[in-house]
Amino acid sequence: MRALITGGTRGIGLACCRLFFRMGFEVVALYSSDESAAQTARKELPDVRFLRADVSDEQRMREVFAEIGPIDVLVNNAGIDAFAQVQDMSYSDYHRVMDVNMGGTFLATKFAVPAMLSRGGAIVNVSSVWGVQGGSCESVYSASKGAMIAFTKALSKELAPAVRVNAIAPGAIDTVMNACYTPEERAEIENRIPLGRFGTPEEVAEAVYFLATCRYVTGQVLGVDGGGI
């Protein structure tokens, strides 16, 4: 069994690499540009194949799939944020967030699906709680993650029964993307979470693995948010 995980050198993606490899998968992970993180990941997981690829680059993604061959599981995890009020965002910022978060999900799915339709497979899209309820000053990020949820639900019908398609919607997770909070801001967020703390990448990876392997679940969006923000 082979899994492809985008955004695989840190945070949720790296936790997914660890878990899928531990569970017996051959794992291929993509990263965009951070060679330092990639080298660290390679040292930790020498049997995981890490490839550099911008998920929004159609030609590069075509090359990746030609190189690695068919996959059984696709985890669309690569994503970027843009924290700003809408009037302060540039159109290029908008396009970059949408191109990576939704465009990258589209391209990886487009190239994975032909083989999956004949051999079966599962796709897990890493959305966000903001894709469900929207986040202030993260309107474009929220829109991109909401689009991933709609994409998930549509594809679960389009690709059935051969391919299962699900999404997760993480809440506040201890990742680089959430490292910007001050201790006071973090405490305020934790006070709004019923479980009283930020989640870990490993806890999100467990949800991803469940959706990738549970054979009678498709078209679902699983919140991994400690009970809601």
Confirm whether 211 is domain-assigned.
yes
Q: Looking up tokens 């994409």, which residue turns up? A: 151
Domain span including residue 49: 2-224
Residue 6 has pLDDT above 70, yes or no: yes
pLDDT digits (tens, 9 = 90+) for 168-213: 999 999 988 777 788 888 889 899 999 999 999 999 999 999 999 9
pLDDT digits (tens, 9 = 90+) for 69-106: 999 999 999 999 988 999 999 999 999 999 999 999 99
Residue numbers annotated as active site: 141
Confirm whether 110 is domain-assigned.
yes
Q: Please provide the average confidence, as pLDDT, over all residues in the chain.
A: 96
> Considering Cα of 194, then 199, then 204, then 207, what sign does the dihedral take?
negative
What pLDDT score was predicted for residue 229? 59
Confirm whether 141 is domain-assigned.
yes
What pLDDT score was predicted for residue 219? 99
Measured N-to-C along each axis, helices 58-68 and 104-119 cross at an angle, to the nearest 10 degrees, of 30
Contact 170, 204 (CB under 8 A): yes
Look up the CATH number of the domain holding residue 133.
3.40.50.720
- Average pLDDT, integer, range 27-49: 97
What pLDDT score was predicted for residue 205? 99
Confirm whether 163 is domain-assigned.
yes
What pLDDT score was predicted for residue 176? 80
Contact 125, 105 (CB under 8 A): yes
Give the total number of structural domains in the chain.
Answer: 1
Q: Note the pTM of the prediction, 2 decimals.
A: 0.95
Confirm whether 229 is domain-assigned.
no
Confirm whether 69 is domain-assigned.
yes
The rounded Cα 75 to chain-centroid distance in angstroms is: 6
Residue 220 has pLDDT above 80, yes or no: yes
pLDDT digits (tens, 9 = 90+) for 113-146: 999 999 999 999 999 999 999 999 899 999 999 9
Three-point CA angle 27, 173, 103, nearest 5°: 55
Residue 218 has pLDDT above 80, yes or no: yes
